[in-house]
Amino acid sequence: MPRLAPVIREATPSDADLLLQLWAETTRTGEADDQARRDAVQALANTAADPEAMLLVAEGDDRIVAALFLARGPISPLSLDHAVHTSYLVVAPSHRRHGYAHALMEAAVSWAEEKGVEQMSAFTDGSRETNRFLARLGLGTVATVRLASTAALRKKLSVERARSAAGSNRHLVEVLAQRRTARRRQAGA
């Protein structure tokens, strides 16, 4: 745990620069440009205005050192039950193993309880360290989340469709060849 209890609070649009620095430090995205900053300010304002979402931040050493996004939503498309879905758990490398992620998850559970939600889910970046942390808290793996741009997915789908069409023709060609061979054998017998 941190030497002093970390300050956990809801992010505000004025945190955009500090959060972009944290994201750059933890995701290796590099420096943010002016457009990224404007987008972050707007996204934080949208989240602050949404009663079903929240971005929590943890402060340490006079800066934001960790963050966790929360969103309340259905457990599945066929369920009326809701869960608090957590994602984008990021902790500055210099502040890991000091209790910041634990404190953020405690705050997330408190928010879920305030909302009357009994289930929690966690979407992770796939890192071993994060997955082990969440497993220690009792969260089990129920799904794998993958991400692609629509353009990349469209391209792959087109290639797959062409492949499957070629594959179905190949099967037809093989069937026709077998029939021809069978007819020749019958004619020769």
Q: Does the reported pTM lie above 0.85?
A: no
pLDDT values of the chain reduced to their tens digit, one per residue, 189 residues:
446 788 999 999 999 999 999 999 887 676 778 898 999 999 999 999 999 999 999 999 889 999 999 999 999 999 999 999 999 999 999 999 999 999 999 999 999 999 999 999 999 888 899 999 999 999 998 888 888 899 999 998 887 766 666 556 667 778 888 888 888 888 876
| Burial classification of residue 173, based on how many CB atoms lie within 10 Å of its CB (0-12 exposed, 13-18 middle, 19 or more buried) | exposed
Q: Are 121 and 153 in a shared domain? A: no
Are 131 and 154 in a shared domain? Answer: no
> What would the DSSP string read from start to end of 22-44?
HHHHHH------HHHHHHHHHHH
Start-to-end CA span in the chain (Å): 87
Structural domain of 92: 7-136
Tell me, yes or no, whether 1 lies in a domain: no
130 and 94 in one domain? yes
